[in-house]
Amino acid sequence: MKATEARLNAALDRPPADIRLFLLYGPDEAVAQAFVARLAKGMGVEAERVDLDGATLRNDAARLADEAAALSLFGATRFVRVTGVGEESLDAMAALLTAERAGNPVVMLAPAVKATGKLVKTALDSDRALAFACYPPNARDAAAIVAELARNTGLRMSAAAVQRIIRGSDGDRAVMMREVEKLALYLDAAPERPVDADEAALEAIGAEIAEGEIGEIVLAATAGDVTGLVDGLRRMQGPDSSPIPILRALGRRMVTLAEMRGAVDAGEGVEQVMKRHRVFWREEAATAAAMRRWSLPALVAAQRAARRTEREVIAAGPAGRVVADTFLLRLARSLR
């Protein structure tokens, strides 16, 4: 079945007996991992997690159904997480959904599968599965997502507060979820006890919504300004801060610089290129410096490295911030 975000959250918080499988597909791996963490919380602190991957299921299609039906050695609750899932896991999914019994919920992360593929179709067609597409939202979708998250937690959020969360999260759904949950906890809000929330409330909880600082960090990294980068990263430090918005902003910056550098290589003037791309006047010096320092092949390689680092950050869990900071510092130092 196709799941709305509200239904998915409710099912993850209290896994229903009739749902055997949660399929999270699409490229936004950060939010998929946030949903996995929500399931783990819903299962309880003593829950046992069994980890499998797509390669294992390709070679042993019955393994998934077996693990879903197995009892924990310690009598605790149990769930199965499967990463790196592709179409090769279709037989394993079918075996799980048609098995006589299961018992332990399964969450499958399939970042590279197509929405029109057989894997997704099988989950959508089954009453024993919930399928949810994890895609980075556009600006309009992001506003709707934050508004829905707010309603589900009992917040009546002002338009200004919604936009501040969107800007600070850079479209990262997992970060938006966390900020809304923090705000609801601070205001003691609940669906049956709604509370108004504005920018003042965000200020009161010290929310990590650094509107301009992400851009400053990205500018410093791409201009080789190590001192400015270190200062920016220090201001972004916090127990709940996420490096994912920084890496995504960096990736977009690399794409834009590659387009601009390509135009310069083709004979267009730097000033003309920046004007055509409507570079903000305060960023003109850093942008011009970046175009001088970066070659087109290097920009393409750096964009790929930023995307690869994002995946490494997600996999590293609490240590992800160290992975991201190390990558950014190495990137800036390579330009000196």
CATH number at residue 165: 1.10.8
Between vectors from CA 96 to CA 92 and to CA 97, what angle results, nearest 5°?
Answer: 120
Same domain, residue pair 232 and 329: yes
The better pLDDT of the pair 49, 317 is held by: 49
Same domain, residue pair 64 and 143: no
Alpha helix segments (H runs only) across 196-242 = 199-204, 213-223, 226-235
Q: Tens digits of per-residue pLDDT, 203-226? A: 776 544 454 577 888 989 998 889
- Mean pLDDT, rounded, for 4-9: 89
- Mean pLDDT, rounded, for 271-281: 84
Q: Tens digits of per-residue pLDDT, 81-121? A: 999 999 999 999 999 999 988 889 999 999 889 999 999 99
Distance between CA atoms of 274 and 259, rounded to whole angstroms? 11
**What integer pLDDT is reported at residue 64 of this predicted model?**
95
Same domain, residue pair 258 and 315: yes
Same domain, residue pair 152 and 115: no
Domain that holds residue 295: 213-333
**What integer pLDDT is reported at residue 212 of this predicted model?**
57
Query: Rounded mean pLDDT of the chain?
Result: 86
**Structural domain ending residue among the three candidates 133, 149, 167:** 133
Beta partners for 53? 83
The better pLDDT of the pair 46, 11 is held by: 11
**What is the total count of domains within the chain?**
3
The better pLDDT of the pair 215, 184 is held by: 184
Cβ within 8 Å of residue 267, ≥6 positions away: none
Cβ within 8 Å of residue 268, ≥6 positions away: none
Cβ within 8 Å of residue 105, ≥6 positions away: 15, 19, 20, 21, 22, 39, 43, 68, 79, 80
Per-residue pLDDT at 162 exceeds 50? yes
Q: What is the CATH number of the domain that holds 107?
A: 3.40.50.300
**What integer pLDDT is reported at residue 74 of this predicted model?**
67
Q: Tens digits of per-residue pLDDT, 295-336? A: 999 998 998 899 889 888 877 777 888 999 999 999 999 887
Same domain, residue pair 177 and 261: no
Same domain, residue pair 196 and 312: no
Q: Which 3 state secondary structure label does DSSP give 52?
A: strand
Rg, the chain, Cα only: 22
The better pLDDT of the pair 313, 68 is held by: 68
- Note whether 34 and 169 are within 8 A (CB): no
**Structural domain ending residue among the three candidates 204, 222, 254:** 204
Same domain, residue pair 47 and 79: yes
> 288 falls in which pLDDT band (50, 70, 90)?
confident
Most confident of 130-134, 233-237, 255-259: 130-134
Helix or strand (DSSP H, E) at 108:
strand 106-110
**What integer pLDDT is reported at residue 241 of this predicted model?**
67
Distance between CA atoms of 72 and 49, rounded to whole angstroms? 10
Same domain, residue pair 189 and 309: no
